[in-house]
Amino acid sequence: MTTRTRAAVLLLALAACSSWLAAAERPNILFVIADDWGNGHGSIFGTPWLKTPAFDRIAKEGVLFTNAYTSNPKCSPSRATMLTGRNTWQLKEAINHFSIFPGEFPTFPDLLEEAGYFVGYTGKGWAPGDWRAGGRDRNPAGPEFNSRKLRPPHRGISPKDYAGNFEDFLAARPEGKPFCFWLGTHEPHRAYEEGAGRRAGKDVRQVKLPAYYPDSDLIRSDFLDYAIEVEWFDTHLGRAIRKLEEIGELDNTLILVTSDHGEPFPRVKGQIYERGFHIPLAVRWKAKVPGGRVIDDFINARDFAPTILEAAGLEPAGTMTGSSFLDLLTSGKSGWIDPSRSVMLIGKERHDLGRPHDWGYPVRAIRTKEWLYIRNYHPERWPAGNPETGYRNCDASPTKWFLLNSFDRYYRLSFGKRPAEELYRVDRDPDNVENLAQDPRYARIKRELRERMEEMLRSEGDPRMLGNEEFFETIDYTGSRKHAWDTWLHNQDPETGKK
């Protein structure tokens, strides 16, 4: 944390001292975040090919949100939004993947710690990127607890014992202090042990593929391997819940369970389509939140931080632009509650390298109950990276190589160039495959959505709307340069992406 940030959070903490002096009334916070887990992939959603009993319990005993979204469907920008309570275009360098985390933005763990909370994280906090370059002396998620290891059941699964590290954190907690713990698994991020799902007895016939994929058992099997890692994440969530029960602190712990973006498959992760930015979300806090409810209001990932802070009796930092949804949690109501929560903005600049001059693929989008409007600012560029660099903004997988070898409609849907404008009727076309942008019948709707989106972005200070879009091309990429254009161009097979 920088000196400037410490001063800011201390002032905020002092201003709220009347709330936090009564320590016994403050809830604990357990923030549980999967890495690349798609919305709807859980047994509570009716998905037959994976089981998520721990997430199901949180949703049934708490609140399940059907419309939670991240403003940028890639790991580090999404996590930065959650930590700071700001939309991705409001985060300076942190809008990009593998960038720096600006030290000027307080995070909810910072604020809670200054207010007397014991904080920490395990697994994946804010990553990938460079938080030291922003002037911080630790990960934005808090102090690290990663010493306990185990033997994972499959290749590709991290040996970190997330739930065990949570237990170590609790053992280190000073008596009488409430806690805030970020439990971030590395799963279900790739790579997977190919065929693990089938060997575990899962049935490819149960997997219903989205409309942007061809009928393929190979792709179905890839989803089963993904399911194995979702279930691993859920196992650790279950262990954490049982530990809180054991120590008698479950009911006064606000547990928020989510993911940073959609599943690591082509046309999903890193892409501005419904599957990429729609995230699972369930919240349990039995002491204050009536359970057994489903809420349809739109929740932005930037709303997490102010919600957590309000639950702890604190004011959000002045830098936070998200809105607490604690009122929805405590309302006792289901369905649509707040009419103002029916629109969402999404966007990105550069994710991974793989274009000339390290250019990005800038996009902004607006999502309403019925519509998704997308503006691709450089349609002449390749959305997932250039072919000769291996389409770097798409993780390596059996599904990826299958689609690359097809070179048909399905290849184009995942990797082909896109028009400047896209328009989808999401309530009828949830897979976003029928672009209505050029249909004259929808010209008025397209214009109104575009104008509304641009007006909202201007009000939020988006540099791209204010004539300063060049800033985004100047942001350094802090990852290994082995992924840069020239290296991939000379050392990789453009069709397979392998050496």
Per-residue DSSP letters for 426-466? Answer: TTT-TT-----TT-GGGHHHHHHHHHHHHHHHHHTT-GGGT
Of 52, 30, 476, give the one whose Cα is nearest residue 254: 30
Of the candidates 271, 454, 416, which has an alpha carbon nearest to the alpha carbon of residue 446? 454
- 405-421 average pLDDT score: 95
Tell me the C-alpha to C-alpha distance, in Å, between residue 186 and each of 189, 222, 254, 333, 390. Answer: 6, 18, 22, 34, 24
| 371/431 Cα distance (integer angstroms) | 12
CA distance 495 to 457: 38
Cis before 27 (ω within 30): no
User: What is the crossing angle of helices 75-84 and 304-311, to 10°?
Assistant: 30
- Judged on CB neighbours under 10 Å (0-12, 13-18, 19+), 231 is buried
Indicate if the pLDDT at residue 76 is higher than 60.
yes
Q: Is the dihedral of CA 420, 423, 429, 434 positive or negative?
A: negative
Q: What is the mean pLDDT of the chain?
A: 93
pLDDT value at residue 1: 55
Taking the alpha carbons of 45, 252, 341, 103 in that order, is the dihedral positive or negative?
A: negative
Domains of the chain: residue spans and CATH: 3-341 (3.40.720.10), 344-491 (3.30.1120.10)
Q: Is pLDDT of 488 > 80? A: no
Q: Is 112 exposed, middle or buried (0-12, 13-18, 19+ CB in 10 A)?
A: buried
210 vs 230: CA distance, rounded Å? 19
Distances in Å between the Cα of 307 and the Cα atoms of 35, 321, 324 are 21, 12, 4
Does the pLDDT value for residue 483 go beyond 60?
A: no
Q: What does the alpha-carbon distance between residue 105 and residue 134 come to, in Å, rounded to a whole number?
A: 10
CA distance 388 to 199: 35
Q: What pLDDT score was predicted for residue 479?
A: 85
Distance CA 80, CA 89 (A): 11
Distance CA 181, CA 61 (A): 20
Q: Give the residue-averaged pLDDT of 80-92.
A: 98
User: What tens digit of pLDDT does each residue of 7-35 get?
Assistant: 444 444 444 443 333 445 899 999 999 99
Residue 144 predicted with pLDDT over 70: yes
Q: 405 pLDDT band (50/70/90 cuts)?
A: very high
The end-to-end CA distance of the chain, in Å, is 40
User: Could you tell me which residues come within 8 angstroms of residue 312 by beta carbon, excluding any fewer than 6 positions away?
Assistant: 19, 20, 26, 27, 29, 112, 115, 117, 178
pLDDT at 370 over 90: yes
How many other β-carbons are positioned within 10 Å of the β-carbon of residue 60? Answer: 15
Q: How far is CA 3 from the centre of its chain?
A: 28
Q: Which amino acid is at 181?
A: F
Residue, of 494 and 244, whose pLDDT is higher: 244
Enumerate the H helices of 39-154 as residue ranges: 53-61, 75-84, 108-114
Q: For a pLDDT cut of 70, what percent of the chain falls above it?
A: 91
- Tens digit of pLDDT for each residue in 203-231? 999 999 999 999 999 999 999 999 999 99
